[in-house]
Structure 1
Amino acid sequence: MTPRHSGLQARRLALLVALGAALLLGSLDCRADQSKSTNELKSFAAPASAAASLLIHGTADIAAMAPVIEGFQKEHPDIEVQYRLYETLPLYQEAAGLPNDKSAADLLISSAMDLQVKLANDGHVQPAAIAKRGLPSWAVWRDEIFGFTVEPAVIVYNKDVLDGNEVPKSHQDLIRLLERSPERFRRKIATYDIGVSGVGYLFATTESTLSANFWRLAHALGVAKAKLFCCTQDMLDSLGRGDTLIAYDVLGSYALRQVQRHPNLGIVLPEDYVTVVSRTIVIPRRAQHPALARTFVDYVLSEAGQAVVAEGFGLSIAGVGTDREQLKTRYVAEKPGLLNFPTLGLPALAYLDLVKREQFVRTWRQIVSP
């Protein structure tokens, strides 16, 4: 093959990759209420004289990531850390469509595990030799993706409005509650817009395989005219303001922080089944400081790092994070349902097929938000 033909083929390949990323997101019309301060940059100055700077792009709120970053800096006081906040889909889009002449962030952190797998499978991620330290086998893929939190999807509700016997203890209870009183809960239910939220889409596709009543619940949400949001914190803020009464499929780490600020809110870990995601971390193929990035991943997965993660995110992934009794204690849950841990690997890509994704989102929106 001549250099000219080789260059032309490379350009065509780059165009196809960019087109695929655009198609994955291009159908989104952003119906969700959105207020998350995306692309906000938080600088964590080095405690000592800065010798290097680490750039992290992540979807975890700064309040949760700050203790982790500061813990890392205690062990590496000469490292400055820049943390830029993203939503899950734009994080993926930017990483997948990055021009060849531009450097990537040093680390990407996201709760949308399927999108992280796609980045790795499409060649945008580099492997890292990291000590696993007892991580469950499902939390690591090809030494390229590392899960470091355990975050269940929970139901959050207003205790001032729902009587104790009304609190939905399961997905089935929530269906019955909404079907029994749709007018009472009209525009009072908050959930993800799965066409906008990457983790919301992951929750929905996972739950559609776990429960025969998934579409019945979707219909109940539609009859109640559920409010759709891009982000977990926005859902919880609507609860805090009293705009909504129940938030469905909320990331547990956010819920734990919210109930500390708003004691009138309660958390339910569903008793029929619990969908769990892990926030994952990857090193982009064109990271400027890959060695430093590996040092950060190593810290996050260390015993000291996991202790900080458990405090900031509710549960770590090593040790207590996979212990059902610890989960029950952390969420004050008497009998949580079977934990359904996510898949890191090629099966996670099934619902990212462009046709499947478009059909799933379109059907869901026709039911939930006609």
Structure 2
Amino acid sequence: MPGAARAEPEAIREFGEGAQIVLRTTTDIGAMAPAVERFLATRPDLSVRYEQWGSNDLFALTAEECAAGTPGAHLVISSAVHHLVKLVNDRCAAPWVSGPAAALPDALVWRNEIWGITREPAVIVYNRALVPASEVPRSRFDLLDLLRPERTPYAGKVATYDIEASGLGFLFAFMDSQEASTFGALMEAFARTGAVATCCSAEIIRGVQEGRYLMAYNVLGSYAQTRAAEDPLLGIVAPSDYTLVLSRAAILPGPVADPRAGALLDFLLSAEGQLALARERLIGLDPDAEEEAGRQVPIGLGLPLLLAMDPAKVAQFTSRWRDAFGPGRP
């Protein structure tokens, strides 16, 4: 829209002093900084401009630059992986073939233009001081049981992502709708009990820590584990009926990949890079978490995710969500 304000990154940090790679990502700078620094230790001729973005703004900017033929980033990494699948389908990403990329399982690479670099579960978090051990939900069925009583103490005290503000939140909710027999019942229970839809992993987790929410549903496990390591009152459960597992996706924007950005991608996919990501809890679930490890459901990269970007499907799904949470709900 003419005159509309251009979105800006949430944070920027410069690493190194050599030729610059522009990395745009939804990942918190602190979570990926050690991997970036380790990469630059092997490539002192390079530097990285790290831009942290909200998922919806990152998608809109990358699509806009693709349409104009002026990619502004060399590497884009997002937790809203359906956005990047859409960009690949729209010919906004360059191919890259390498040993580390070729070693990925088929579900985590598509057209040699998109790659999954992390493994992060969607979890339930709760406040140990406020939720009795006997009431900690180990599955979606348990969560429904907590919300069923007419005078449930959890009314207005359960949070999840606002799917219109968070691309990741939309993806998790959409995958639930495809996977879970409990999805409709959860939407009804959230509506009836005044569940809170809000933005961002950090805000949701902080709300649980502070007691504004007793628990939160479908929270990104990597960020939850980082907070739980600092706060023993934050409990984490991987639902035993099934646990969604996200792999943040990476693309190399433009018709031709910048080999320096390809080198950074290869490092992130290498054994050393994966170890650096694992140390920041971006790979797997902490074995000390209260994991009732049931069936894991990886979110694969490829054509099926285009359903989550189909305008008619999105409108229908968002309408159903608003029926539960209502327009303008906090």
TM-score, normalization: structure 1? Answer: 0.82
- Give the 5 Å matches for 1:130-209: 130-131=98-99, 132=101, 134-180=103-149, 183-209=152-178
Whether 1:265 aligns to 2:234 is yes
Deviating 4+ runs (over 4 angstroms): none
| Partner Cα distance (1:368, 1:304) in 2 | 43
Sequence identity, in percent?
A: 37
What does 1:1-370 align with in structure 2 at a 5 Å threshold?
38-44=9-15, 46=16, 50-98=17-65, 100=68, 102-131=70-99, 132=101, 134-180=103-149, 183-285=152-254, 290-315=258-283, 327=285, 329=287, 331-333=289-291, 335-369=292-326
Cα deviation for residue 228 of structure 1 reads 1.4
Distance 1:196 1:118, change over 3 A: same
3-state DSSP class of the match of 2:216? strand
Query: What is the aligned-residue RMSD (CA, Å)?
Result: 1.9
The one-letter code of the counterpart of 2:54 is E
User: Does the Cα contact within 8 Å between 2:130 and 2:211 map onto a contact in 1?
Assistant: no
Does the Cα contact within 8 Å between 1:104 and 1:286 map onto a contact in 2? no
Q: Kindly tell me: are residues 271 and 328 of structure 1, through their superposed partners in 2, closer, same or farther at Cα, counting changes over 3 Å?
A: farther
- The whole-number CA distance in structure 2 between the counterparts of 1:54 and 1:361 is 36
- Map of 2:4 onto structure 1: none
Residue pair 2:117, 2:249 contacting (<8 A) in 1 also: yes
Question: Does the CA contact (< 8 Å) of 2:69 and 2:254 recur in 1?
Answer: no
The residue matched to 2:280 in structure 1 has which SS? helix
- CA–CA separation in structure 1 for the residues paired with 2:236 and 2:72: 38
**Deviation at 1:182?**
5.2
Unaligned segments of structure 2, at least 5 residues: 2-7
Range with bigger deviation, 73-82 or 108-117: 73-82
Once residues 265 and 67 of structure 1 are traced to their aligned partners in structure 2, the CA distance between those partners, rounded to angstroms, is: 25
Query: For the residues of structure 2 that align with 1:235 and 1:123, how far apart are their CA atoms?
Result: 35
Rounded Cα–Cα distance in structure 1 between residues aligned with 2:270 and 2:288: 21
Distance 1:257 1:221 in 2: 27
Indicate if the aligned counterparts of 2:71 and 2:254 stay in contact, CA closer than 8 A.
no
The Cα of 1:173 is off from its aligned counterpart by 0.3
In 2 relative to 1, CA 119–103 (structure 1 residues): closer, same or farther, beyond 3 Å? closer
- 1:152 deviates by 0.8
Structure with higher Rg: it is 1
Counterpart-to-counterpart distance in 1, 2:126 and 2:10: 30
Cα deviation for residue 175 of structure 1 reads 0.8
What displacement does 1:101 show?
5.7
Shift of 1:311: 1.0
- Per the alignment, residue 26 of structure 1 pairs with none
Q: Which one-letter code corresponds to 1:369 in the other structure?
A: G
Alignment gaps of 5+ in structure 1: 1-17, 19-36, 316-320, 322-326
Number of equivalent positions: 319
**TM-score, normalised with respect to structure 2:** 0.91
